[in-house]
């Protein structure tokens, strides 16, 4: 009997506390063929895209979240979620296999919930970046650029407030993403500034791969600027 790449997992909603089923991808089926310069994974099997299943959407109340969300709800936040999300929610589930449009809907819901809940900028920037990747896969450049800018701006907020400090993200990785997203947005001033800061990091050692990537993208940026000047 052939094993499905997916399995069902029960999740407890952080907001309404009710349980709901969601699909997850078995790790042995997640094969990344290549990774883009802004860390978008390109999966070897386009029918098994792990990105589609990162967001849990509660079928009961509509609250949408990822494993990275904080369990803390500030005073008044639950009431705001009830008004802005739950009151408008038409109960339906996301427990089946998802396509790119389901994934976009799930990430947008998660971004809305994260914003109301006042999650850290490092969380909201990651959600926006993944939305940009999903739109890129649809070749919808307008929406891709919209969410790249949102991601870049939130990464800049994260960097200035250092709210990434207690996460798996390092300051160098945040700087690299600000630089690379700025390059893609043709904001060459910020791209140059932040690539320089990543490359300076080689003096202190560590994060060698990111420094090497920054040098590659810096060269690409320099060539683009020279061509546009001619």
- In the three-class reduction of DSSP (H, G, I as helix; E, B as strand; rest coil), residue 12 is classed as strand
pLDDT 10s digits, 42-61: 999 988 999 999 999 999 99
Q: How far apart are CA 12 and CA 69, in angstroms?
A: 13
Q: What's the 3-state SS for 40-67? A: CEEECCCCCCHHHHCCEECCCCCCEECC
Helix (H) or strand (E) holding 95: none
> What is the pLDDT at residue 208?
86
Kindly tell me if the per-residue pLDDT of 113 is higher than 80.
Answer: yes
Q: State yes or no: pLDDT of 225 exceeds 90.
A: no
Least-confidence region, from 21-35, 118-132, 182-196, 201-215: 201-215
At 45, give phi and psi (nearest 5°): -110, 110
- Reported pTM: 0.95
Average pLDDT for 200-216: 85
**Chain position carrying tokens 């790119």:** 100
**Residue range 103-124: mean pLDDT, rounded:** 98
Confidence at 205, pLDDT banded by 50, 70, 90: low
Tokens (6 digits) for 118: 């006042």
């Amino acid at each position: 009997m052939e094993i499905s790449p997916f399995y069902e997992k029960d999740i407890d909603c952080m907001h309404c506390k009710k349980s709901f089923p969601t699909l997850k991808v078995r790790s042995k089926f997640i094969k990344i063929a290549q990774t883009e310069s802004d860390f978008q994974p390109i999966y070897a099997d386009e029918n098994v895209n792990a990105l589609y299943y990162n967001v849990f959407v509660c079928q009961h109340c509509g609250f949408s979240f990822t494993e990275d969300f904080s369990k803390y709800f500030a005073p008044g936040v639950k009431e705001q979620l009830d008004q802005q999300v739950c009151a408008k929610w038409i109960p339906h589930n996301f427990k089946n296999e998802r396509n790119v449009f389901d994934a976009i809907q799930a990430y947008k819901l998660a971004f809305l919930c994260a914003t109301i809940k006042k999650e850290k900028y490092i969380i909201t920037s990651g959600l926006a970046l993944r939305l940009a990747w999903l739109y890129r896969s649809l070749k919808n450049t307008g929406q891709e650029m919209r969410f790249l800018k949102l991601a870049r701006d939130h990464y800049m907020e994260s960097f200035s407030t250092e709210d990434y400090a207690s996460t798996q993200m390092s300051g160098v990785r945040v700087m690299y993403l600000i630089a690379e997203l700025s390059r893609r947005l043709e904001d060459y001033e910020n791209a140059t500034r932040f690539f320089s800061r990543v490359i300076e990091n080689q003096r202190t050692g560590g994060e060698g791969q990111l420094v090497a990537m920054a040098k590659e993208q810096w060269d690409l940026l320099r060539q683009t600027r020279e061509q546009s000047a001619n």
